[in-house]
Amino acid sequence: MQLLKEKHIAYVKSLDSHTDDYEYWLSEHLRLNGVYWGLTVLCILGSPETFDKDDVIAFVMSCWDDKYGGFAPFPRHDSHLLSTLSGLQILATLGGLDNVKKDQLKLSQCLKFISSNQLEDGSFQGDRFGEVDARFSYNALSCLSILGELTPEVVDPAVNFVLRCYNFDGGFGLSPGAESHASMAFTCLGALKITGKLHLLSPEQIDMIGWWLCERQLPEGGLNGRPSKLPDVCYSWWVLSSLAIIGKLEWIDYEKLTQFILSCQDEKRGGISDRPNNEADVFHTVFGVAGLSLLGYKDLVPVDPTYCMPYSITATFQKYGLY
Amino acid sequence: MHGVKRRQWTKDQLKQKKEKDRMKIDVYSSLVNSTLDRRDKNDHSLTALEDTTKLLDMNPEFNTMWNYRRDIIAKLKTELPLQFWDKELKFIMVQLKKFPKVYWIWNHRIWVLNNYPGSPASVWERELDIVSALLEVDARNFHGWHYRRMVVGKLENITGKSMDAGELAYASKKINNNISNFSAWHQRVQLIDRMFANGEIEDRKEFMEKEINYLTNAMFTDAEDQSVWFYINWFVNYPLVQSILGKEQYIRFLESMTTNILMINDDDIEFSGSDNSWCLKILLVIEQRQKELSPGFESHSVQYLEKLVVMDPLRKNRYLHLLSKQ
């Protein structure tokens, strides 16, 4: 089976026209994330102009949270680190970062929102209500990296916390003591990569991480997120990007994984699902397509495993330590 | 979306769905707007609270609404009767049962418990029973396990007593129910490590010997599943095993592990005609330790790796990498 590029482009384009579906309204809390996922699909497929750039930037800015700073997932919702990263990723991709960077008030509010959510042990809460998760560490560090505002005051304790999420089996958990989960390998390794701190993991740990990650591949080719779990296309991204970050991408079988991702395409309506014959969504579409890009599938735009954005964009980010 | 079967809609079904949806959308979006209007006016009344109940019942993933609800509760805290808090916990449980993997709901529950008047031990003890019941339904739910660690941590704080021994018994129970429950194996490692660190184990040697029996039984019970093997990999490399057993006994432990694993592997060869890849992978780990401890140890690692390259082709590049280091 081939990658149905045109179908996927049409699928992403159609997403915002489903306003007569109740589910569309129920998913407002993920809208900005959804726009980032859709835009990234289009970028990797080489069709970023499918979205109207000005409309998208205007929508992102309408999600700005005046009260707390940062981006909410939807106008009138509250800001959160998850949606703040999506907002900045979209702006960076579309060349609209100056909307935040050149607006002194917004920039300072944004930086304050991020740093005020860092807790004493270096971890981050997603917002003022105290939920701690390594995902939020990644969000915060990635945001600051995109803005070129990483500082040792934030980075050093943050890295300390992320390292504590490393487990005996070579995986990472959402907090110290939590079970390893492939998505946390991405967030923790990504956080270390962004801050130039990967060397804090020993060669033995890197080998152990590679082992745990490559054991996620199942005989049918797909990857799971934890032992004894079913394969799922989104782990193509979480596992592959992690392997790419530690330079061990070839520890899994490319061909079999490629076939698994392609078998999850909706041939009629476009989009990719978690497993064959399931309902497609934009989340699995981006991680399927981004996974294929990492696997070197033909005619796809190269994607940066650390940021899940095109290399052409992330190459413009300042490298921490070289500011 | 996870695990939702793709559906082909007929034109008629689609038309019916859209009609139904139109009504639902009207009700939902007007309630969203009026509730957000209330929030913007800093309305922290019981009526506003009731509106968030209605909305969260329709959409428990609406985190901004949980935020508003918490702000209202925090403002009304001194006026709310004790029954309110139990009712709130019941309301959350209804949502959790429907959506056991939604982070926002778990997060709200822990917030409510932290703000429960007096936050007494009895409330957290009841919570431990509740999380046990939830882990009965899905013994691998990592939200559930994470939440359990938080509840236990809270109880330990309140009572000043470690619950490690009881939690280890709980992890064992979960493993005995299903040997491939890696969440429970993971928890076992956390607890054992902490119990040693905090001096909670009286007879350290006896404990280690019992643990060796436990993992040996486990590996004979299910040699196909990776959970137990990842645990064994940890145990073999856990520095305290050698320091507590002493070098001689540790070497004998490695030898008996080798004998047992080769026995399992031979059974597999007899039964299915091929080696068990996990047996070979863990033999590699054991040999690594043996090489470090006994100079002149006769290694079979190259042979194991060459077999693995052929029998586990998905990961052959890892084995080739390890071969290059032999």
Q: How far is B298 from chain A (nearest CA, A)?
A: 23
Phi-psi region of A148 (alpha: psi -120 to 50; beta: other; left: phi over 0): left
Q: How far apart are CA A260 and CA A222, in angstroms?
A: 5
> Across the interface, which of A129, A228, A251 has its CB nearest the CB of B67?
A129
Are the beta carbons of B1 and A284 separated by less than 8 Å?
yes
Cβ contact B140–A229 (<8 Å): yes
Would you call B3 and A77 a contact, using CB atoms and an 8 Å cutoff?
A: no
Residue A323 has pLDDT above 80, yes or no: no
Is A320 contained in some domain?
no
Task: Give the span between the Cα atoms of B151 and B145, in whole angstroms.
Answer: 10
Greatest Cα pair distance in chain B? 79
Judged by CB atoms within 8 Å, which residues 85-124 of A form the interface with B?
Answer: none
Distance CA A298, CA A5 (A): 11
On whether the CB atoms of residues B5 and A277 are closer than 8 A, the answer is: yes
User: Measured on CA atoms in the order B4, B10, B13, B18, is the torsion positive or negative?
Assistant: positive
- Residue of B3, B182, B227 lying closest to A274 (CB–CB): B3
Domain that residue A205 falls in: 5-315
Number of domains in chain A: 1
What is the CATH number for A59? Answer: 1.50.10.20
Q: Quick check: A169 and B28 CB within 8 A?
A: no
pLDDT band at A322 (very low <50, low <70, confident <90, very high): low
Give the minimum alpha-carbon distance from B99 to chain A in angstroms, rounded to a whole number: 14
User: To probe the interface with A, which of B140, B175, B318 has the most A CB atoms within 10 Å?
Assistant: B318
Is A222 an interface residue toward B (CB < 8 Å)? Answer: no
The rounded distance, in Å, linking the Cα atoms of B150 and A96 is 41
Residue A321 lies in a domain: no
Q: End-to-end CA distance of chain A, in Å?
A: 46
**Token match 């052929």: residue?**
B310
Contacts of B161 (CB under 8 A, 6+ apart): none
The pLDDT score that the predictor gives to residue B4 is 83
**Cβ of A167 and B2 within 8 Å?**
no
What rounded mean pLDDT belongs to chain A? Answer: 97
Residues sharing a CB contact under 8 Å with residue B314, sequence separation 6 or more, in sequence order: A214, A217, A219, A252, A253, A256
Task: Give the one of B6, B62, B314 whose C-beta lies nearest to A279's C-beta.
Answer: B6
In a domain, A124, yes or no: yes
Q: Which residues does chain B have with pLDDT short of 50?
A: none
Q: Which residue of A has its CA nearest to B227?
A: A227
The beta-carbon contacts of B173-178 under 8 Å, at least 24 apart in sequence, are B174/B135, B174/B139, B175/B218, B177/B139, B178/B139
Tell me if A323 is assigned to some domain.
Answer: no
pLDDT tens digits, one per residue of A24-61: 999 999 999 999 999 999 999 999 999 999 999 999 99
Please identify among residues 192-231 of chain B the ones whose CB lies closer than 8 Å to any CB of chain A. Answer: 225-227, 230
Between chains, do B4 and A167 touch, taking CB under 8 Å as contact?
A: no
| Contact at CB, A26 and B142, closer than 8 angstroms | no
Residue B67, pLDDT score = 98
Residue range(s) in chain B whose domain bears CATH number 1.25.40.120: 39-71+79-161, 211-326
> How far is the C-alpha of B186 from the C-alpha of A169, rounded, in Å?
9
If one counts every other C-beta atom within 10 angstroms of the C-beta of residue B204, the result is: 15
Q: What is the pLDDT of residue A5?
A: 98
Residue B59's Cα: distance from chain center in Å?
Answer: 26
| Separation of alpha carbons B95 and B115, rounded Å | 19
Nearest alpha carbon to residue B111 among B84, B157, B60, B73: B73
B189 vs A: CB within 8 A: yes
Chain B residues close to A227, C-beta within 8 Å: 180, 182, 225-227, 230
Helices then strands, counting H and E runs in chain A, come out as: 15, 2
CB–CB of A60/A32 below 8 Å?
A: yes
3-class DSSP string for chain B: CCCCECCCCCHHHHHHHHHHHHHHHHHHHHHHHHHHHHHHCCCCCHHHHHHHHHHHHHCCCCHHHHHHHHHHHHHHCCCCCHHHHHHHHHHHHHHHHHCCCCHHHHHHHHHHHHHCCCCCHHHHHHHHHHHHHHHHHCCCCHHHHHHHHHHHHHHHHHHCCCCHHHHHHHHHHHHHHCCCCHHHHHHHHHHHHHHHHCCCCCCHHHHHHHHHHHHHHHHHHCCCCHHHHHHHHHHHHCHHHHHHHCHHHHHHHHHHHHHHHHHHHHHHHHHHCCCCHHHHHHHHHHHHHHHHHCCCCCCCHHHHHHHHHHHCHHHHHHHHHHHHHC
pLDDT for the residue numbered A236: 86
Contact across the interface for B28 and A226, Cβ inside 8 Å: no
Please give the pLDDT value at position B7: 83
Size (chain A), residues: 323
A209 falls within a domain: yes
Beta-carbon separation of A76 and B36 below 8 A: yes
Chain A stretch 250-279, residues whose beta carbon is closer than 8 A to a beta carbon of chain B: 250-253, 256, 266, 273-275, 277-279
CB pair distance less than 8 Å for B149 and A275 = no
Residues 295-314 of B with CB under 8 A from A: 313-314
**Looking at the domain assignment, is residue A215 inside a domain?**
yes
Quick check: B176 and B184 in contact, CB under 8 A? no
Interface size between A and B, measured as CB pairs under 8 A = 136
Q: Tell me which residue in B6, B20, B149 faces A266 most closely, judged by beta carbons.
A: B6
Chosen CATH of B211-326 out of 3.20.20.70, 1.25.40.120, 2.70.98.10, 3.40.50.10470: 1.25.40.120
Name which of B224, B314, B321, B326 to mutate to probe chain A: the one with the most chain A Cβ atoms within 10 A of its Cβ.
B314
**Separation CA B135–CA B272 (nearest Å):** 35
Topology classification of domain B39-71+79-161: 1.25.40
Q: Do A178 and B25 touch (CB under 8 A)?
A: no
Residue A292 belongs to a domain: yes
Q: Closest partner residue to A168 among B180, B189, B321, by Cβ? A: B189
Residue in A22, A127, A279 closest to B1 by CB: A279
What is the distance between the alpha carbons of residues B119 and B154, in angstroms, rounded to a whole number?
10
Residue type, B225: D
Identify the closest residue of chain B to A180 by CA–CA distance: B186
List A residues 199-218 in contact with B (Cβ-Cβ < 8 A). Answer: 210-212, 214-215, 217
Q: On the CB side of A103, how many CA atoms lie within 13 Å of its CA?
A: 14
DSSP code for A49: G
Of A199, A219, A298, A212, residue with least CA distance to A251:
A212
